[in-house]
């Protein structure tokens, strides 16, 4: 597609490419998680990729990387919504001077009301129901807390459970049954319902076992001024500042997550301090101005005299979408 765009538009038209995930790097659906150990992968090579997929030769992985990089050479500038993602692609081989950190812009919203509660003990999970998103890690942590008699409640919102492997779905169902006293499974929801969901929550939990990039749910939590409890790796650790605007726990470790949740719900003062230090996410207006500036820079570098048309003001309403 990149080559077709370049052939169609010619060399004078700048191409910006936003790096949303790691699919160009990792054959495992871009997850960067080892098939051999289920641990996050810190570096790729033909040999290591072959270890994860023995049916694919190291030579094929070498050619895969060279082919993808040759296609991506048609791009003038890459935008990475996190520094972690940027560094990973530079390490992989993209030219450092062509990869720029640029967060996703967010449209303005009215923050959900903060309901008065004696104890800040209501958690919410919002995201795809998959192994890599760590929802079963969270349910195992909830089972520990339930067994210890900790007063805490979790609501789980998510979609695509029917697309997951049988083993994952069976474990998910068993964990829901084991935690039914403290966990409510809500399933899919419309984005318009997000303020009401946030109003009923004190903490947003992001327990992914893979690196992530810049999870939108972290930005949404910030917009609604809800502290985040997140895995201590990758884009999550970068976007959630431990002890400042949220809390970290050891990724893929239910015991660590349970301990962190217990600490979080035991102190109303901690919640108040974290909420107070939450910074608003990157505004869409600023994002649009930045993109306009970057396109102009690239046009000038190509010697084009074309003038960019000023973009219209961003919409004030978010399109009705479903989480996937």
Looking at residue 303, its pLDDT comes to: 80
Looking at residue 304, its pLDDT comes to: 60
How is the beta sheet containing 16-18 ordered, strand by strand? 16-18, 77-80, 99-101
Tell the CATH topology of 122-276.
Rossmann fold (3.40.50)
Burial 39-52 (b: 16+ CB within 10 A, else e): ebbeebebeebbeb
Looking at residue 313, its pLDDT comes to: 52
Quick one: which of 270, 193, 218 has its CA closest to 81?
Answer: 218
CA distances (Å), origin 106, targets 66, 157, 217:
35, 21, 11
Instruction: State the span(s) of the chain assigned CATH 3.40.50.2000.
Output: 122-276
CA–CA separation, 66 vs 18, rounded Å?
Answer: 20
Looking at residue 305, its pLDDT comes to: 47
Q: What is the DSSP string of 115-134?
A: ---SS--EEEEES--STTTT
Looking at residue 321, its pLDDT comes to: 35
Q: What is the DSSP string of 204-262?
A: EEE--SS--S--HHHHHHHHTT--EEEESSHHHHHHS-BTTTEEEE-TT-HHHHHHHHH
Looking at residue 31, its pLDDT comes to: 95
Q: What is the pTM of this model?
A: 0.90
Tens of pLDDT along the chain (324 residues) come to 999 999 999 999 999 999 999 999 999 999 999 999 999 998 999 999 999 999 999 999 999 999 999 999 999 999 999 999 999 999 999 999 999 999 999 999 999 999 988 899 999 999 999 999 999 999 999 999 999 999 999 999 999 999 999 999 999 999 999 999 999 999 998 989 999 999 999 999 999 999 999 999 999 999 999 999 999 999 999 999 999 999 999 999 999 999 999 999 999 999 999 999 999 999 999 999 999 999 999 999 988 644 444 544 544 443 443 333
């Amino acid at each position: 597609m990149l080559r077709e765009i370049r052939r169609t538009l010619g060399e004078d038209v700048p191409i910006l490419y936003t790096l949303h995930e790691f699919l160009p790097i990792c054959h495992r659906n871009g997850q960067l998680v080892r098939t051999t150990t289920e641990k996050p992968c810190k570096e790729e090579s033909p040999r290591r990729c072959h270890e994860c997929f023995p049916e694919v030769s190291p030579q094929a992985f070498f050619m895969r990387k060279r082919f993808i990089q040759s296609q991506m050479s048609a791009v003038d500038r890459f935008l990475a919504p996190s520094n972690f993602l940027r560094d990973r692609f530079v390490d992989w081989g993209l030219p450092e001077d062509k990869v720029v950190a640029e967060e996703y812009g967010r449209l303005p919203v009215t923050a959900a009301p903060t309901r008065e509660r004696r104890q800040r003990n209501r958690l919410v999970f919002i995201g795809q129901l998959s192994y890599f998103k760590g929802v079963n890690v969270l349910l195992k942590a909830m089972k520990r807390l339930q067994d210890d008699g900790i007063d805490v409640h979790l609501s789980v919102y998510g979609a695509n459970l029917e697309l997951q492997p049988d083993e994952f779905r069976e474990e998910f169902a068993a964990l829901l049954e084991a935690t039914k006293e403290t966990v409510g499974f809500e399933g899919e929801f419309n984005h318009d319902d997000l303020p009401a969901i946030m109003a009923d929550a004190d903490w947003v939990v992001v327990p992914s076992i893979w690196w992530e990039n810049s999870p939108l749910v972290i930005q949404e939590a910030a917009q609604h001024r809800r502290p985040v409890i997140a895995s201590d790796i990758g884009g999550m650790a970068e976007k959630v500042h431990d002890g400042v605007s949220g809390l970290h726990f050891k990724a893929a470790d239910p015991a660590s997550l349970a301990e962190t949740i217990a600490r979080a719900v035991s102190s109303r003062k901690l919640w108040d301090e974290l909420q107070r230090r939450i910074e608003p996410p990157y505004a869409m207006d600023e994002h649009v101005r930045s993109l306009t500036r970057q396109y102009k820079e690239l046009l000038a570098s190509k010697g084009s005299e074309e003038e960019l048309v000023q973009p219209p003001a961003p919409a004030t309403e978010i399109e009705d979408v479903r989480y996937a």
